[in-house]
Amino acid sequence: MYFSPEESSQVSEAAARSSNGAALKLRGLEKSFGARRVLRDIDLDIRPGQFVAIVGRSGCGKSTLLRLLASLDEASGGSMQIDGQRGDIRMMFQDSRLLPWKHVIDNVTLGLAPAHRRHAQEVLDRVGLGDRARDWPSRLSGGQRQRIALARALVHSPRLLLLDEPLGALDALTRIEMQQLIESLWLEQGFTAILVTHDVQEAVALADRVLLIEDGAIALDLDIRLARPRERASTGFSACEARILSRVLSSPARDDEAAVPEPVFSNFTRISWAI
């Protein structure tokens, strides 16, 4: 485990916030597609209200793991316990998956009784798009669409929010804005969050804990004990980032993966996009 100089009383604070989140317990979880074993032997305990980031090379099985957690796919073996019902779990996809034929507000209330419209409007206001309720999704920018998708997930007050590279397609500035929004909503609502990302900096900025998946197994499990809001320029932040990156890059990319060639930099913070 990694303890930064900025480590503080965050741990106890996180425990206090935990009431709304679901706890996860995975034991020996496995997933194969035909002969290809994508995930093997995943043992994982996640505390209620924890913010977990999952990083790893493209094709390592990050999305597959999230889809198992969301019950979108069946596991091939092992067990998975999530305290809560199906409806407590919400997934946010990389492409926003808004229904183009429904107005923004009707997208947010998807699967809800009409009585929840007021609440939906409040959540829309919260993500800063209250005035776009009557627009078609096609009229929104990519970042706005992701905010709508976030609102749609949050209306259900999920206890577990799964985020599969929700910010992957956004520009750097919008990303940081969205990261702040996600963080503040998480702090407010106290759900358990699992975020898949390619961006190590994003993982360090948001997560209590970063998992690295490699060859279908968890290769690194690192607690990030930095005070929030996190200062990206701080030494503790850079140290975390560097540590994760060096671990990611220490294992050579396999031939069957379209991996980025591995550059050797002295300063790891400059290559936070390398995976």
Partner 1 sequence: MTHAIPSPQAGAAARAAKRLLPWSLPIVLIIVWQLAAQSGWLSSRVLPAPLDVVKAFWTLTASGELFRHVAVSARRALAGFAIGGALGLLLGLATGSWRRAELLLDTTVQMIRNIPPLALIPLVILWFGIDETAKLFLVALGVFFPVYINTFHGIRSVDAGLIEMGRSYGLRGWSLYRDIILPGALPSILVGVRFSLGFMWVILIVAETISAQEGIGYMTMNAREFLMTDVVLVGILLYALLGKLADQLARGLERRWLSWHPNYSSR
Q: Which residues bind ligand ATP (CB under 6 A)?
A: 33, 38, 56, 58-64
Dihedral class, residue 21 (left if φ above 0, else alpha if ψ from -120 to 50, else beta): beta
Q: Which residues contact 270 (CB under 8 A, 6 or more apart)?
A: none
The nearer residue to ligand ATP, 64 or 179, going by C-beta atoms, is 64
Nearer to partner 1, 11 or 110 (CB): 110
Measured between its terminal Cα atoms, the distance across the chain in Å is 22
> Segment 148-167, which members bind partner 1 (CB under 8 A)?
152, 156
CA 226 to chain CA centroid, Å, is 18
Contacts of 132 (CB under 8 A, 6+ apart): 104, 124, 139, 140, 144, 148
Q: C-alpha angle with apex 176: 200 to 44, nearest 5 degrees?
A: 40
Interface with partner 1, residue 12, by CB under 8 A: no
Residue nearer to ligand ATP on the CB measure, 62 or 159? 62
Among 2, 136, 174, 187, binds partner 1 (CB under 8 A): 136
With binding defined as CB under 8 A, does residue 99 bind partner 1? yes
Is 2 one of the binding residues for partner 1 (CB under 8 A)?
Answer: no
Judged by beta carbon distances under 5 to 8 A according to partner kind, the member of partner 1, Mg ion, ligand ATP, none in contact with residue 97 is partner 1
**Minimal CB distance residue for Mg ion:** 63
Tell whether residue 110 is a contact of partner 1 (CB under 8 A): yes
Q: Which of ligand ATP, partner 1, Mg ion, none interacts with 33 (beta carbon under 5 to 8 A by kind)?
A: ligand ATP
Applying CB under 5 A, the span of 49-57, 58-66, 80-88, 138-146 interacting with Mg ion comes to 58-66
Task: Report the b/e string of 121-160 with b at 16+ CB within 10 A.
Answer: bebbebbebeebbeeebeebeebbbbbbbbbbbbbbebbb
Q: How many CB atoms lie within 10 A of CB 119?
A: 16
Which of the 8 DSSP states describes residue 129?
Answer: -
Give yes or no for residue 63 binding Mg ion (CB under 5 A). Answer: yes
Cα radius of gyration (the chain): 19
| Binding partner of 72, given Mg ion, partner 1, ligand ATP, none, CB within 5-8 angstroms per partner class | partner 1
Strands 192-196 and 160-164: parallel
β-strand pairing of 192-196 with 209-214: unpaired
CB of 168 to partner 1, least distance (A): 15
Nearest distance from residue 168's CB to Mg ion, in Å?
Answer: 9
Q: 270 is in the binding site of which of ligand ATP, Mg ion, partner 1, none (Cβ under 5 to 8 A by kind)?
A: none
Q: How many residues bind partner 1 (CB under 8 A)?
A: 21
